[in-house]
Amino acid sequence: MSIKDVAALAGVSPGTVSNVLNRPEKVAGSTRDRVETAIRQLGFVRHGSASTLRAGHSRTVGLSVIDIGNPFFTDVAAGVEDLASERGYAVILGNSSGSRAKEERNLLVFAEQRVRGVLITPSDEDPVRLDLLRERGIAVVLVDHPAERPDQCAVAVNDVTGGYMAVEHLLSGGAGRIAYVSGPASIRQCQDRRRGAGRALAAAGRDPLELRELAMPAMTAAAGQQAAATLLAGDALPDALFCANDLLALGVLRGLLQAGVRVPGDVSLIGYDDIDFASASTVSLSSIRQPTYQLGRAATELLLDECDNPATHAHQQVMFQPDLVVRESTR
């Protein structure tokens, strides 16, 4: 079941079989046919590990995301998976669940597997671990995160703009007090979206500091419901809520509706990501749309270019722009 058996059956040397597998153009048509039928006859499949060991690099990439349960990331993953598999790469998936320890475990696995490259949406801002990968010759592309230095690739969506759009929209609806329901402070997206929100307030002649922030430990629907409970327990509800993602927003929405609060009558609500389910919710959700699938594809494109053409590869920082999607949940 090895390349040697194929070689024996086809009456050639192992080297020729290897050539058929890796550089078919280098081998004469007739012998190529002979080898290929031998391969089929024996049901031979290349031993990826042996190949990796010898060649010094594998045909796999690692993908580390923050929450595989979030449709935003599954859309990204779909983009990654599609392009990678078109190019003959396998994807090893790692879900960090927002935990730094899990993220590090995943990166270790990637390093052990000698993946060709890593796509990562980092769960915090510490660049050290990634540099460690790069030192090992593993290409790294940041996904949904701007580059930290010019000598690296990154693909992101402008979160400051997105936050600005969201709050500008709330203000245009006449919102007075606005609160920002956010995720862990360590997540850059949350900070950037807040920054944009603050700028929108400033642009409207108001004090950015009046934006009240409620930082939840996770960005899930359950956390959103929790946030709603906290808001309801406070003195007065804000006029409008900007949630750092749609999962939070959907949870908040549920919590508010269950308490008899009307959306958008009593409170306007806007989410972020425009996941598929945002338009299907009880009160359809206004949101900030991101080109999610494209994000994954673009990141993979950069990564594979860096892997396959290291000589000509030029590091790039791609920045997509978000869109405002207005639905029922905002006035």
Residues lying near a second copy in the complex (CB under 8 A) are found at 1, 43, 45-50, 52-53, 58, 60, 68-69, 71, 74-75, 77-78, 81, 85, 90-95, 102, 105-106, 108-109, 111-114, 132, 136, 221, 250, 253-254, 276-277, 279-284
User: What is the closest distance, in whole angstroms, from the C-beta atom of residue 113 to DNA in the complex?
Assistant: 12
Interface pattern 21-60 for DNA (x via CB under 7 A): xx---xxx-xxx-----------x-xx--xx-xxxx----
Q: Output the six-digit token pair for 292.
A: 């999610």
**CA dist list (Å): 207 to 165, 204, 212, 287:** 17, 9, 11, 24
Partner in contact with 207, chosen from DNA, a second copy, none, beta carbon below 5 to 8 Å by kind: none
108 lines the binding site for DNA (CB under 7 A): no
Q: Which is nearer to DNA, 12 or 157 (CB)?
A: 12
> At residue 285, what are phi and psi to the nearest 5 degrees?
-95, 125
Partner in contact with 132, chosen from DNA, a second copy, none, beta carbon below 5 to 8 Å by kind: a second copy
Q: Which is nearer to DNA, 2 or 284 (CB)?
A: 2
Partner in contact with 111, chosen from DNA, a second copy, none, beta carbon below 5 to 8 Å by kind: a second copy
Please name which of 132, 281, 297 lies closest in space to residue 269, comparing C-alpha atoms. Answer: 281
Side chain identity at 270, as an amino acid letter?
A: I
> At residue 60, what are phi and psi to the nearest 5 degrees?
-130, 150
Output the DSSP codes for 93-109. Answer: EEE-TT-HHHHHHHHHH
* Residue 3: burial class (beta carbons within 10 Å; 0-12, 13-18, 19+): buried
User: What is the closest distance, in whole angstroms, from the C-beta atom of residue 123 to DNA in the complex?
Assistant: 28
Q: Which is nearer to DNA, 12 or 298 (CB)?
A: 12
Please name which of 112, 139, 132 lies closest in space to residue 120, comparing C-alpha atoms. Answer: 139
Rounded Cα distance, 279 and 246, in Å = 10
Question: C-alpha angle with apex 162: 156 to 168, nearest 5 degrees?
Answer: 170
Strand partners, 268: 240
User: What is the closest distance, in whole angstroms, from the C-beta atom of residue 243 to a second copy in the complex?
Assistant: 13
Please name which of 277, 328, 326, 276 lies closest in space to residue 168, comparing C-alpha atoms. Answer: 326
User: What is the closest distance, in whole angstroms, from the C-beta atom of residue 26 to DNA in the complex?
Assistant: 5
User: What is the closest distance, in whole angstroms, from the C-beta atom of residue 134 to a second copy in the complex?
Assistant: 13
Strand partners, 309: none
Q: Which is nearer to DNA, 4 or 105 (CB)?
A: 4
User: What is the closest distance, in whole angstroms, from the C-beta atom of residue 306 to DNA in the complex?
Assistant: 17
User: What is the closest distance, in whole angstroms, from the C-beta atom of residue 61 to a second copy in the complex?
Assistant: 11
Q: Output the six-digit token pair for 18.
A: 């290897």
Which residues touch 32 (CB under 8 Å, ≥6 apart)? 20, 24
User: What is the closest distance, in whole angstroms, from the C-beta atom of residue 45 to DNA in the complex?
Assistant: 7
Among 15, 176, 217, 310, indicate the residue that binds DNA (CB under 7 A): 15
Partner in contact with 319, chosen from a second copy, DNA, none, beta carbon below 5 to 8 Å by kind: none
Q: Which is nearer to a second copy, 56 or 205 (CB)?
A: 56
Q: Which is nearer to DNA, 44 or 164 (CB)?
A: 44
Partner in contact with 22, chosen from DNA, a second copy, none, beta carbon below 5 to 8 Å by kind: DNA
Q: Which is nearer to a second copy, 117 or 163 (CB)?
A: 117
Taken in order 187, 183, 298, 157, the sign of the CA dihedral is negative
Rounded Cα distance, 248 and 180, in Å = 11
Rounded Cα distance, 324 and 165, in Å = 7
Residues that bind DNA (CB under 7 A): 1-4, 11-16, 18-19, 21-22, 26-28, 30-32, 44, 46-47, 50-51, 53-56
